[in-house]
Amino acid sequence: MLPGSNKIKTNTCLNKMSYIKKQNNGNVYFKPHPITTHTVIGELKDKFGEELILPRDIDMYHFLEKAYKVYTTHISESTMYAAALGKEIEPIDVHNGVERGSFYHVNKFLFEQSGNAIPWINRTLSSYKSGIICPKLEENWKEKMEKYFEYLFAKRELYKNWYIDDRTKKKIK
């Protein structure tokens, strides 16, 4: 599962993708994000082979259900879905850019669960501390959101002024 063309070259390790292709004897498919440009899709087809690049608009969830293993990034929501399906997941991010991922705060832990992600997902999504709130599924979503803000502001207050002032090199606290 690949990110869009605006992130594929900065967040995805193309060398790892080549390694994955080689290790799987070409029995792997790369699914471009729907916003991937024609130019980038052409580059992917040139690099990995046209037969291994799925159409960008094809249903990602169908392929996640069929996959034995899912290679994805810290910026993709596909990580949680694959983990919830019990799939083995492995990151394909460039190593020094992992923390920039928009889903890093969740995916970091999912990649570390080694096939036992479902209990972690249930615990995390149930906790107001996660900041993940789904009004369509949670009847108490407003209460959960209020608790999250209280928790967040308490943490903010706790760490307030815990920085070094560069001008004086003295702790501000």
DSSP symbols for 64-82: HHH-SEEEE-TT-THHHHH
Q: What is the mean pLDDT of residues 9-25?
A: 93
On whether the pTM is more than 0.75, the answer is yes
Convert the pLDDT of each residue in 92-129 to its tens digit.
999 887 777 678 888 888 988 867 888 988 888 889 99
Domain range list for the chain: 8-126, 128-173
